[in-house]
Amino acid sequence: MSNTTYNIRIDKKVREQADILYKSMGLSLSSAINLFLTQSVIQGKLPINEIIAEPAYANALERDAKEIDASITAGTAKVYETPDELFSAWDNEH
């Protein structure tokens, strides 16, 4: 297997936290990135089952999801026939 070098920009705080996390698993950051990329290729998608919102947004997202579920259950959810209709309504609201 031949290797190549690739430079990426990573937030310093995220890098430090990831280093600690992966070291606790016995992996280097480089190994973890290689694992992530390999799984992406194997699965043909991002190998992430769930994306967790930052805590500051989690409550708002949960509230909005409940409102949407309630409007669907009540039959009051607006249904758009086409994407253009949806985007037009969005533009008119904002």
Report d(CA 87, CA 81) in Å as an integer.
Answer: 11
Query: Quick one: tokens of 15?
Result: 């890098």
For the residues of 41-58, what is the DSSP string, one character each? HHHTS---S--PPPHHHH
- How much is the pLDDT for 56? 65
Residues 47 and 36: beta-carbon distance below 8 Å = yes
- pTM for this prediction: 0.51
Summarize pLDDT for 31-59 with one digit per residue, the tens: 999 999 999 899 888 888 766 656 667 77
